[in-house]
Chains A and B, each alone.
Chain A
């Protein structure tokens, strides 16, 4: 690692390697893929948030982004397709002192796993959901995804996509998430800060990360390399914190509204259950997981 002449005697390594499984690096993502950048931000957020990393678990589903669980040196699980949130819900409820993070892609979380997301947000399950949105199904060859905007060509849409796409922050907001933010792979500092903030909050927190897919989405639509998509994010994104999520619609190569949209307090599922059953059953009820609200800080 140390290739810097004067400092050859020092044992220096990239600070993020502390939270990564170094034997798995280099990873399999394509050159110019933004997932690595989002993972880099997440690793920094983990190091800065002050949580006990032995009490943080990462769950991911299937897909390019699903591989993050395998690269993080935490307790992690790579679940079946779309079932990251049900697995994470079970993990959180059986061991409430864990901080559980679901790190997956748009196809996994909102296509096959869409239903699970809606209900986890409705119940306000105590999870952080990071959704890396690259507008396509990367691992399977560039099919049209529920997040593909109107217009671009995909393997299964050779004449351009005509299906209306999901507006993910709006979906999360409508389902009742307590924290909703959207950043792109270009906004690294803001993204790392948002992840840090969200790791320390309670309830279902949702962060959408827009990221380039140079191999499938960009190449098929002649948008250039990963870095060209990053430059598009730089030029066309507008930071509007607290904006109405309804307006944060993504269009093909159009303006992107980024920022922290929602930050509110709602009782989590465990809090609601304990409160309700304490009233309904009286003294015979022993509250469950009440010391789990500290987010693993002890």
Chain B
């Protein structure tokens, strides 16, 4: 969900499976850098799901992934993503 066109790029990003989110806001309230916020849109069940509002602040620490009761979000460092890309290529 991270806006890749942003000139400022953080150390990591979050992946959100919006249809699994129930809008409990754990990830938003406990994000150490405040990088995530609620979306303006609703998902199918009618909940606002998390989106990176300040993507450049995200460090990919995956604390949101550990808090999420619905397994709907997780964070990854760009470093690890690049490694994954090399492996899958």
Question: A residues bordering B, Cβ < 8 Å?
Answer: 1-7, 9-12, 14-17, 20, 25-27, 29-37, 39-41, 44, 186, 188-189, 192, 225-227, 230-231
Number of A-B residue pairs, CB cutoff 8 Å, is 102
Q: Please count how many residues in chain B sit with their CB below 8 Å of the partner chain's CB atoms.
A: 34
Main secondary structure of the interface of B (DSSP, over half): mixed
Contact A4 B1 (CB under 8 A): yes
A-B contact pairs, 26 of them (CB 8 A): A1-B15, A3-B1, A3-B17, A4-B1, A4-B15, A5-B4, A10-B81, A10-B85, A10-B88, A14-B71, A14-B74, A16-B71, A17-B71, A25-B71, A26-B19, A26-B72, A27-B70, A31-B22, A32-B69, A36-B70, A36-B71, A37-B69, A40-B71, A188-B63, A192-B66, A227-B25
Let me know if B2 and A4 touch, CB within 8 A.
yes
Residues of B21-65 whose CB lies within 8 A of A: 22-26, 29-30, 47, 63, 65
Which residue in chain A gives the minimum CB-CB distance to B20?
A26
Residues of B within 8 A of A188 (CB): 63, 66-67
Closest A residue to B47 using CB positions: A31
A188 to B22, CA, bound (A): 19
Chain A residue at minimum C-beta to C-beta distance from B87: A10
B81 CB to nearest A CB, Å? 6
Chain A to chain B: the 7 pairs with minimum beta-carbon distance, closest first: A36-B69, A31-B22, A5-B4, A32-B24, A188-B66, A6-B4, A14-B74
Please report the C-alpha to C-alpha distance between residue A227 and residue B74 in the assembled complex, in whole angstroms: 18
Which residue among A2, A37, A192 has the maximum number of chain B CB atoms within 10 Å of its CB?
Answer: A37
Contact with B13, one of A4, A14, A32, A36 (Cβ below 8 angstroms): A4
Distance A1 CA – B22 CA, assembled complex (angstroms): 16
CA distance A231 to B28 in the complex (A): 12
Q: Of A3, A12, A186, which contacts B84 at CB under 8 A?
A: A12
Cβ–Cβ < 8 Å partners of A227 in chain B: 24-26, 29
Q: Are A189 and B66 in contact (CB under 8 A)?
A: yes
